[in-house]
Structures are given as C-alpha cells and as structure tokens.
Amino acid sequence: MQQLTLETLIAVFEEIFGAALFWTMVAVAAIITVLYVYVLIRDRSVSWRKFLWAQLSMPFGAVAAVLFVQKMTNSSLNDIGGPIDVFVLLGVAVAGAIGLAILVYTAESLIWPKREEEF
C-alpha cells in the first residue's frame, strides 16, 4: 500500500467490522451528529450540568471503544506490537470518549430540554 485513500480505509473498516455493522455505525454516528447540532442550535447555549455528565462518561466510552475494537479484531492488549499500535489504540480510545460524551449530552438535552427561565 503506497498511499492511504478514503476507499482503502473504508475497505479496511468493512473487512474488520463487516459491511453491515460498519455502515450501521456510520449511519448512527451521522444521526447523533445531526441531533447534537440540532440541540446546540435549539438551546443556543451549553448546559454546563449536562456537559459535566457528558465529561464524566468519557472514560467509559474510551474503555468500551477499545474493548469493542479488540473483540472485532480478535486481539488483546498482549498483541500490542509497537508504537503505532499504541497510537491506534489511543486514537480509538479518544474517539470512543468523545463519541460517548456527545451521545450523553445529546440524549440529556433531548430528554430534559432547557426550561424557559434558564435562558
């Protein structure tokens, strides 16, 4: 592989997760992103209480993402072979942490919208 392209990445992810699961994850991520933008536009400000709960959920998202990827690739922490493996694992953890924080904030905002007196 001489160069990294979007098509190559999609093919690799489809191979790891399976086409159905990969595209389902992409669709769910897109829906959550649209809902997150909707919540930010609707509320016109950040609720710091909801933001705190979202931040507290981040370690759980990081661990869950790493465990999910290890399950899908049939590997464990013993299989880490070098620095690139550590960087990839850290990237997966960061993505999982951010993803769960966005999901928690969005879910909280949709379930408990801002009251008028909070504006």
Residue 1 domain-assigned?
no
Highest-scoring range by mean pLDDT, 22-31, 79-88, 107-116:
22-31
Residue 72 domain-assigned (yes or no)? yes
By the 8 A CB rule, do 43 and 109 touch? yes
Q: Are the CB atoms for 69 and 17 separated by under 8 Å?
A: no
Note whether residue 107 is domain-resident: yes
pLDDT of residue 76: 84
Predicted structure pTM score:
0.83
Give residue 114's Cα distance to chain centre.
Answer: 24
The total of structural domains in the chain comes to 1
- In a domain? residue 36: yes
In the numeric block, the tokens 């399950």 are attached to 71
Please state, rounded to an integer, the average pLDDT across all residues of the chain: 90
Tokens of 73: 């690739």
Structure tokens at 12: 């690799």
Distance of CA 90 to the CA centre of its chain: 13
In a domain, 110, yes or no: yes
Q: Is residue 16 part of a domain?
A: yes
Using a pLDDT cut of 70, give the percent of the chain over it: 95
Structural domain containing residue 27: 6-118
pLDDT tens per residue, range 2-47 = 788 999 989 988 998 899 999 999 999 999 999 999 999 998 888 8
Residue partners of 5: CB distance under 8 A and separation at least 6: none
